[in-house]
Structure 1
């Protein structure tokens, strides 16, 4: 047989095999379905017989056996036989049988499939194999495309399915109509040997049956009656444990066959049953058990250590918690009722914590991490859970982030030569701080490199536990940060603070980014010029307003002298005059502050020499001395005399005010003239300094130009050797950028030079307003400078740099350096000549004035002796009056000379003007007394005039000594030892003051301050003001600025804040903190001075106030002896020979007077 035929036959036989399996499966399914029909029908019949007949055990056994035999027979016949045929144990399902079934089911096949199988199996004729193969293949090809599925008919299934519905429907109807009957009958059939009693007419279904309840619970009983008839009523019979007799209760009928009863507060176990008409249910038991009970709750909170909060125990049975995250919560429970086997603490998110149980207690701990709720549950050994669980709230308070903000300086600050920035920041947090750091970087630089990232240093003076505080730090850029700022540098900086949170980790906060700029010298001088221009304008306006006040006074004075009495309009004019004078004094105070600001600018930025700086400080003292209480007192007295209608007193007060007003205007004129003179001197220094700065800048540019030129030559030399075009291009780009940067610097230098030329012209114009100033020489210097066209040269040099013409650029730079060096030298020489010439003129003028004062004193003493010997009727009194007038006229001339000198000499104190004026007044009073023939009174005035003249001579002598020896007054020459002693003394005063403030606050203890306390508070504010003034004076010392680490000016500002609070009675804890900061900074400044070592300059001691009784007034001989000693000291101090002769002459005159007496 060929392979194709064999393959065809195998596929057909495989299909027959599959068909055989399907026939077996269908037969099994049909058998099972038929078996189900037979089983359900037989069971329905059996149950119906038992339900209707209540068969005995014998008949029930026979009935059950019959049912089982019927079901077993059906199962064997319908299921077993098909399985046996499939297994081959029985015939009827072999291959030929299946083929025959297929042939019958498929008409197209008929017996072809059987023939093919028989031929294949050898049941054939002796025909040749070829014909046999051809016949088999022909049959196979005919059968192969035909389906065998028709042999698997489903008609039988449909038929059986319809029959199966009948018993199923019958069973469903039976069960639905009487489920209990069906269930009971089935149960009896399945239990054939068990005897069953036929039920009564009705039965009970009792609820809740056997149960366990918690002591005190109530139970609802429910009785359902089932049967052919319903009873009239149902009773509940029950008895508690230990009771012999039962109790019977009538139950309530709710509906047909339904009875209920509710038994409340059951405290003891019992048994019960339902009874009615002699029919009883079985006994049921209710077992009473106890529930575990949570009786008391105690909660303790242990806050995180970093908060420094003490632990807190909540009130009993209080479980609501408000706590910082990280707080440990410890819970103690007191238990009652049944013994607890287990317990849990349950949170709202479902997480639980097992309770640690003891006999009558339980405990648990957890850490607060978030807001939630929690409750407790305890389970007894019987599995009973505690009820009525209370839900407690947990409010988790998050640790707030810290806050920090700068309070000083301003967001954009200019740096001074000292390179110190006084930082003040306000920080706050809820629990404290761990670290503060200062971040900084250089963002712009003229010649140096810049920083892309921030560097940082730690700030250590942060109080970790102080929640709201002001942190003060003196940032020393050079010492702390290693920075060396140069003009043009710009820095950015900010502070960052971290709190002390150890639960989630420290949280940080930062200030805004502030900037520092180191202005160029030209910019610093421009700022100084603006301040000076503002001061100049205010002085001019002040002079005009003072002139207006003087005119108003003269008009009022003339009117009052013409009228016997003043009227209301005069009083109004006087009040207006008083108001204007007060405005003048306020304007003077404002100018004094401007000059102080100007001086601080000079000092902080080192813009002037030490000598010029001292002159401006003395100028400020001169301005401070312009205002005088005598003038306002005279006004007040004049106003009072006008109100009292006292013409004589009014005229006296008019004269008094006129005298003080004249002196006020003289002091004001002096301040204006001194300011103009000093400004010219400062302008000369400024011009020389700016010329020097430009020269140094040209030096720097020339060095950079030479470097670029060398790099360019090296690049050209390596150009042929280096084949890397990218590297050559990069190197060329860098050189071009450097050249352009130098060109920008040169262009800026051209602008600065142009500004310097304009400054020279301004100086020349200001010199024209001064006497003895070299304005012509200054004009020549300005013209020569403009002729050199330095700005133009610098601009051309910048263009050469941009075009990389390095040789020409270097030549031009060298030339400009020489020109600027010469300009600097000329300006310095001019300033030196001007100062020297002015000093010589001032010294000569003082010497002549002192000589005149000594002569006037001599003549006044002689006249006093003469007048003392005259009687009131002596005719020589008129002659003496004429001599007194002559002396007064001479002193007036000297006073005018001193007034003019005071406009040139800032060191001249106000006492000189005061003694001159007082002496003139005493001479005038003496003349009036002589005209009234009052010789004794006149001698008294003459004595006073002589005393003022002698004091004036000593003041002029000291001033000459100071000017000729070149020493400056004040604290500017204070040695380091003196500064240390003064700082220590101020520190001791501050310590005592802090203790007094603390004691006062302790006495108040949160109560309202009494009047005495408020007065004491203001006195303490006055003491703080005195310490502040002394500290402010000390801070003006140049050595203090260079040596002391702490900022004395900042300390003074803090003192000013405390003074305001003390005087306004607004002290608080912050006041104490600030006072402690003040003391700490003063001690740091003292230690800083000690660490610097001893000063090489001579040391001195600071005078201390010693309380002692004042001596009595000196007698005439004692006054002369004192004057003699003073003149001896003057001679010992070393004067010029001509001045020594003058002092000696005056000394001899004094001796002659003493001999004559």
Structure 2
């Protein structure tokens, strides 16, 4: 009886604590909304917001709307009712839900606050740049008015004083920018000291301009005015460059971090699958049961560090935040259940919960792979024509739709064939390219890792499109699309060889065969209206029941396999070997 009362007291205390946390979170959210609204109104009064800032504002609004729901409040009310009914099982279930909801809410609130702060920093930079350009223009106009005058009017002297005062205010804005930037969890890498030093030089020139105008020396004042104007323009340009460079560097950091997380997720997925398979082959009384239980707990522990990295990445890339929260929540809940299932020898439940964990791993990996491609495309757009070594030759996954038409596929294959032939020649390697595999390791082809990765991605895009074409053609029921199967199989083998860097003569010969097969198939594809230049006919809806679900399952499995196939050819050998083992089992 005493134990029961103590347990009730603990639960009531936990509920009270969660209620206080909920109230605190709601208060923080309301403050955040007010702060954001004030920032937006102030910005709108001054000028139109640019597209990036508008997008950030919309994302913050979406996050706040999602957070300011009644879910937590309803759960708290349900808990209080259950406490009165003494329903122990339901109480614990709702407490678990409430803890998870509260944690997700805190994560999203932290991200929203960080997004708002970062938006304010970027806004402040843009405002300072605009004000510098505006003051420089006003200074030029005043110089043109006064430099040839023997007698400077009082109105012109007042204009110079106003410019000087405006610049003093702008110097304070620079100090505020520095302070705002330092408040960020990850401050932008900007050398604001350089801007402050330049601002002191501008201040001296402006003061000299004012002094010379007071002495009616318009020509002498003109020299200082011109110098002040040029230095203000230089400050604006410097701030803009620092902002862009900082954003690029942070984007590259996120890309590197994402790659590391993706690698860890793939490894965890394989480990989880292996442990699940080993459990399925033994009974609960088997001596190995405890050993595999320890391996499962290690997976749980390893996942926690990956989860921390994922949450950190989500804070930097808010577009993936909700998806990450959802899947991590599922992993966390199912891992807790898996450990309980193992302890209690619940074999069927254990297998089901392990499968749920694997699904979440794979969902996260697929999403991260897509995000990686998008971020790489953004990096390329941030560096137009820069020739940066980060992305030489614009390597990476093909754009949506690239290589999807028969004619495009043919041209792409021709280009790849030329590259392969060129890479086979001892002198065919371009200066600055990374060396490929040496002799005895793929025939000594001189292709760089990034070129190979690009080829593999293009082959993958072509194969997917041809698989879609085959499926469309087979809808007629005559199996016409099966004629594409040999071509698809050749592409699949080519893709696998590229990923594994088997770069010998066989690769070139197979590429020639693929090109020949594509040329043979092109006419049939065109006639059937499967070229994207022509309209496709809508297919009839057919209720396939279990068959449709089976096809959807296979599509999802293929997507997951596709992700693992698309790893960089320089992927660590351990993980590449694990990936190949997986392919051999499922294909």
**TM-score, with length taken from structure 2:** 0.63
Q: Which protein, 1 or 2, shows the higher relative CO under an 8 Å CA cutoff with sep ≥ 6?
A: 2
In structure 2, the residue matched to 1:942 is 354
Partner of 1:683: 124
Q: Secondary structure at the match of 1:908?
A: helix
1:805 to 2:237 alignment: no
Residue 1151 (structure 1) aligned with residue 565 (structure 2): no
Cα distance in 2, alignment partners of residues 560 and 746 from structure 1? 81
* Aligned counterparts of 1:611 and 1:857: Cα–Cα separation in 2: 36
Deviation at 1:607, TM superposition (A): 5.6
What is the aligned partner in structure 2 of residue 766 from structure 1?
180
Distance 1:893 1:936 in 2: 28
2:198 matched to which residue of 1? 785
1:659 is matched with 100
Q: Provide the rounded CA distance (Å) in 2 between the counterparts of 1:744 and 1:580.
A: 56
- Whether 1:864 aligns to 2:307 is no
Q: How many residues align?
A: 426
Alignment of 1:621-1020 (within 5 A): 621-627=62-68, 630-706=71-147, 709=148, 712=149, 739-770=153-184, 773=187, 777-782=191-196, 784-788=197-201, 790-791=202-203, 793-801=205-213, 804-966=216-378
Which is helix-richer, 1 or 2? 2
1:565 is the counterpart of 2:8:
yes
SS at match of 1:565: helix
Corresponding residue for 1:1122? 556
8 A Cα contact 2:315 2:321, kept in partner:
no
**Kept in 1: contact 2:311–2:324 (CA 8 A):** no
Distance (whole Å) between structure 2 residues aligned to residue 609 and residue 822 of structure 1:
22
- Name whichever of 1122-1131 and 828-837 sits farther off: 1122-1131
Q: CA deviation at 1:966?
A: 1.4
Q: Equivalent residue of 1:958, what SS? A: helix
- Once the two structures are superposed, what CA deviation does each residue of 1:30-65 show, in whole Å capped at 9, x if it has no partner? xxxxxxxxxxxxxxxxxxxxxxxxxxxxxxxxxxxx
Change beyond 3 A, Cα 1:859–1:594? same
Is the CA contact 1:915–1:948 (under 8 Å) kept in the aligned structure 2? yes
Matches within 5 A, 1:202-281: none
Give the drift of 1:841. 0.7
Provide Cα deviations, 1:412-460, integer angstroms capped at 9, x if missing partner: xxxxxxxxxxxxxxxxxxxxxxxxxxxxxxxxxxxxxxxxxxxxxxxxx
Deviation sequence 1:1015-1052 (CA, Å, 0-9, x none)? xxxxxxxxxxxxxxxxxxxxxxxxxxxxxxxxxxxxxx
Matches within 5 A, 1:155-234: none
Residue by residue, what CA displacement relative to the aligned partner does 1:129-175 show, whole Å, maximum 9, x if unpaired?
Answer: xxxxxxxxxxxxxxxxxxxxxxxxxxxxxxxxxxxxxxxxxxxxxxx
Q: CA deviation at 1:912?
A: 0.9
State the SS of the aligned residue for 1:912.
helix
Alignment of 1:483-632 (within 5 A): 563-566=6-9, 574=15, 578=19, 581-582=22-23, 584-585=25-26, 587-589=28-30, 591-592=32-33, 594-595=35-36, 598-599=39-40, 602=43, 606=47, 609-627=50-68, 630-632=71-73
Q: Distance in 1 between matches of 2:253 and 2:554?
A: 31
User: Once the 2 structures are TM-superposed, how far is the Cα of residue 901 of structure 1 from its aligned partner?
Assistant: 1.8
Structure 2 Cα separation of the partners of residues 841 and 903 of structure 1:
13
What is the distance in 2 between the residues matched to 1:613 and 1:1142? 44
CA separation in 2, counterparts of 1:956 and 1:561? 47
CA shift, 1:600, in A, is 6.3
Does the aligned pair in 2 maintain the 1:619–1:906 contact within 8 Å? no
Contact map agreement 1:860 1:942 (CA 8 A) in 2: yes
Report the RMSD for the aligned CA atoms in angstroms.
Answer: 4.0
Residues 839-858 of structure 1: per-residue CA shift (max 9 Å, x gap): 11111111111111111112
Unaligned runs of at least 5 residues, structure 2:
381-540
Summarize the alignment of residues 350-389 of structure 1 with structure 2, pairs less than 5 Å apart.
none
When normalised by structure 1's length, the TM-score is: 0.33
1:961–1:633 distance in 2 versus 1, CA, 3 Å: farther
**Equivalent-residue separation in structure 1 for 2:42 and 2:165 (angstroms):** 23
| Alpha-carbon spacing, 1:772–1:647, altered in 2? closer, same or farther (3 Å) | closer
- The answer (yes or no) to whether the contact 1:564–1:647 under 8 Å persists in 2 is no
The whole-number CA distance in structure 2 between the counterparts of 1:1138 and 1:592 is 46
**Residue of structure 1 equivalent to 2:533:** none
What are the Cα deviations for residues 164-220 of structure 1, in whole angstroms up to 9, with x where unaligned?
xxxxxxxxxxxxxxxxxxxxxxxxxxxxxxxxxxxxxxxxxxxxxxxxxxxxxxxxx
Cα distance in 1 for residues equivalent to 2:547 and 2:324: 22
- 8 A contact 1:793–1:812 mirrored in 2: yes
Contact 1:847 1:1139 in 2 (8 A): no
**Using a 3 Å threshold, how does the CA distance of structure 1 residues 1119 and 635 change in structure 2: closer, same or farther?**
farther
| Conservation of the 8 A alpha-carbon contact between 1:588 and 1:624 | no
Alpha-carbon distance, 1:922 to partner: 0.6
Gaps in structure 1 of 5+ consecutive residues: 1-558, 714-734, 969-1106
- Following superposition, the deviation at residue 601 of structure 1 comes to 5.4
Q: Cα 1:629–1:938, aligned 2, differ >3 Å: closer, same or farther?
A: farther
**How far apart are residue 860 of structure 1 and its match?**
1.4
Alpha-carbon distance in structure 2 between the residues aligned to 1:944 and 1:579: 33
8 Å CA contact retained: 1:642, 1:650: yes
Structure 1 residues 646 and 623: alpha-carbon distance in aligned structure 2, compared to 1, 3 A threshold: same
SS in 1 for 2:316: coil
CA gap 1:883/1:625 in 2 versus in 1, 3 angstroms: farther
Following superposition, the deviation at residue 587 of structure 1 comes to: 4.7
Alignment deviations for residues 911-947 of structure 1 (CA, whole Å, 9 cap, x no partner): 1111012112111101100110111110000111111
- In terms of fraction of residues, the more strand-rich structure is 1
Instruction: Give, in whole Å, the separation in 2 of the partners of 1:823 and 1:560.
Output: 70
Q: Deviations over 1:1130-1150 (max 9, x none)?
A: 989xx9765799998786454
Superposed CA offset, 1:446-490 (max 9, x none)? xxxxxxxxxxxxxxxxxxxxxxxxxxxxxxxxxxxxxxxxxxxxx
Q: Deviations over 1:283-308 (max 9, x none)?
A: xxxxxxxxxxxxxxxxxxxxxxxxxx
CA gap 1:562/1:883 in 2 versus in 1, 3 angstroms: farther
Aligned-pair CA distance for 1:1118: 4.5
Structure (1 or 2) with the larger CA radius of gyration: 1
The corresponding residue for 2:532 is none
Shift of 1:627: 4.4
1:165: which partner in 2? none
